[in-house]
């Protein structure tokens, strides 16, 4: 392993670890993450500024966070929490863009190494501390990865996506990949009652890879999955339709997902969130704090990405996010020549947004998923990549 590879792994561990690991109880690690994430951000930012190598995706991320900061200030909300999100997200995006231009295989290897390490470490800690490694301020379990076990899926899906991409691109890491999938499934089932939503989404990804990815009908899997995402968002989140009462969907929710029709109280939070959004539809309320959220939407977060964005920044922030999504997908569609990887990434992204209908994950991971789609023109299947290299020679 070269020094440059070790450096890349170190940088990714800082940028990703500081975003998804709960290290506040480990003071030296907390200070270490905080300090180095800022140093790395300054390094990659001024490097990009010197070469003026900002992409449209980067600029949209700047706009997303700058608007969030200004909007929160206008609404008299604290902006202190937004700045670390901006630093870690921008640092991760810029470093990945700079590294992938030099060596795609090294980028995927470093990402797969760090994500795998985090998943395996979390699994070991779950075996040792199944009820959480710490106790939060409300007396609940606090886990090393994400704090709450519902946050596991927000890191596991990107981890599986990156490792699968590395296997496709370099024809390496197969043993790790075959180990990572069952470990991921066990990780979301071990704590308490487990996260059935994350479990089913991992199963969906496995189902696609085993039964649909090798076939030309894989596009139909994506279409059905996307249709299900839209149907769920419209009927359960935005309209909370009573049509599903007594239907097969109710059976699926209660018997398979093992949740009641309120999704453990989420529909109540969605209802109050929609009401608050309707009262400030243009610009929202800024990045609201915990007390404001509990008082106005009866929950700490909205448990839905669309509602969270609209609550924080209204239709303005929603449009900025849609431009980010459009930029990522449009770049992929225009550049990539392999439909297999293109559809795989869109399937992963759709599965991720399916999970985001019932949870809110850190913006670092959400925007990282969009970044992988945006950079997909760098990813080629191993056999086609070898043919391309031979042709160039």
| CA 254 from centre of chain | 26
Task: Give domain limits for the chain.
Answer: 3-378
- Smallest Cα–Cα separation from 85: which of 37, 49, 35? 37
**How many whole angstroms separate alpha carbon 325 and alpha carbon 329?**
6
Answer yes or no: are the C-beta atoms of 197 and 229 closer than 8 Å: no
Name residue 21's beta-bridge partners: 145
Residue with tokens 């202190």: 80
Answer yes or no: are the C-beta atoms of 355 and 233 closer than 8 Å: no
User: Which pLDDT does position 144 carry in this prediction?
Assistant: 86
Answer yes or no: are the C-beta atoms of 378 and 337 closer than 8 Å: no
User: Which pLDDT does position 389 carry in this prediction?
Assistant: 40
User: Which pLDDT does position 131 carry in this prediction?
Assistant: 83
User: Which pLDDT does position 37 carry in this prediction?
Assistant: 93
How would you write the pLDDT of the chain (393 residues) with one tens digit per residue? 799 999 999 999 999 999 899 887 788 888 999 999 999 999 999 999 998 889 999 999 999 999 999 999 999 998 988 999 999 999 999 999 999 999 999 999 999 999 999 999 999 999 998 888 888 777 678 888 888 888 999 999 999 999 999 999 898 999 999 999 999 999 998 866 567 889 999 999 999 999 988 877 888 999 999 999 999 898 888 887 554 555 555 656 666 566 555 566 788 999 999 999 999 999 999 999 999 999 999 999 999 999 999 999 999 999 999 999 999 998 765 544 567 888 999 999 999 999 999 999 999 999 999 999 999 888 876 555 544 444 443
Residue with tokens 């863009």: 97
Answer yes or no: are the C-beta atoms of 359 and 156 closer than 8 Å: no
Residue with tokens 């800022």: 38
Contacts of 131 (CB under 8 A, 6+ apart): 141, 191, 192
327-336 long-range CB contacts below 8 Å, 24 or more apart?
Answer: 327/56, 327/57, 327/60, 327/374, 328/57, 328/370, 328/371, 328/373, 328/374, 329/373, 331/57, 331/373, 331/374, 331/376, 331/377, 332/373, 332/374, 332/376, 332/377, 335/376, 335/377, 336/376, 336/377, 336/379
Residue with tokens 């599965």: 351
């Amino acid at each position: 392993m070269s020094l440059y590879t070790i450096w890349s792994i170190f940088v990714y561990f800082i940028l990703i670890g500081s975003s998804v690991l709960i290290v506040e109880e480990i003071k030296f690690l907390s200070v270490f993450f905080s300090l180095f994430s800022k140093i790395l951000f300054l390094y990659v930012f001024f490097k990009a500024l010197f070469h003026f190598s900002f992409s449209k995706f980067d600029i949209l991320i700047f706009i997303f966070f700058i608007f969030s900061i200004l909007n929160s200030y206008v609404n008299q909300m604290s902006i202190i929490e937004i700045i670390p999100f901006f630093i870690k997200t921008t640092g991760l995006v810029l470093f990945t863009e700079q590294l992938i231009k030099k060596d795609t295989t090294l980028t995927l290897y470093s990402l797969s190494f760090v994500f795998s390490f985090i998943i395996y470490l979390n699994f070991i800690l779950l075996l040792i501390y199944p009820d959480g490694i710490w106790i939060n301020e409300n007396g609940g379990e606090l886990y090393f990865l994400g704090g709450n076990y519902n946050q596991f899926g927000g890191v596991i899906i990107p981890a599986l996506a990156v490792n699968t991409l590395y296997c496709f691109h370099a024809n390496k890491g197969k043993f790790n990949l075959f180990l990572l999938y069952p470990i991921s499934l066990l990780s979301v089932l071990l704590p308490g009652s487990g996260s059935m939503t994350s479990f089913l989404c991992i199963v969906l990804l496995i189902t696609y890879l085993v039964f649909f990815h090798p076939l030309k009908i894989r596009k139909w899997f994506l279409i059905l999955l996307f249709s299900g995402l839209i149907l769920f968002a419209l009927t359960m989140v935005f309209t909370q339709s009573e049509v599903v009462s007594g239907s097969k969907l109710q059976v699926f929710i209660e018997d398979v997902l093992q949740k009641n029709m309120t999704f453990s109280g989420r529909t109540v939070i969605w209802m109050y969130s929609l009401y608050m959004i309707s009262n400030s539809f243009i610009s929202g309320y800024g990045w609201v704090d915990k007390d404001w959220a509990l008082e106005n939407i009866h929950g700490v977060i909205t448990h839905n990405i669309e509602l969270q964005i609209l609550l924080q920044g209204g239709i303005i922030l929603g449009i900025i996010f849609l431009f980010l999504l459009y930029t990522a997908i449009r770049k992929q569609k225009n550049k990539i020549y392999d439909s297999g990887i293109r559809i795989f990434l869109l399937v992963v992204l759709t599965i991720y947004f399916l999970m985001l209908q019932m949870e809110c994950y850190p913006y670092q991971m959400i925007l990282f998923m969009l970044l992988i789609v945006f950079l997909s023109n760098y990813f080629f299947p191993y056999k086609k990549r070898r043919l391309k290299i031979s042709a160039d020679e």
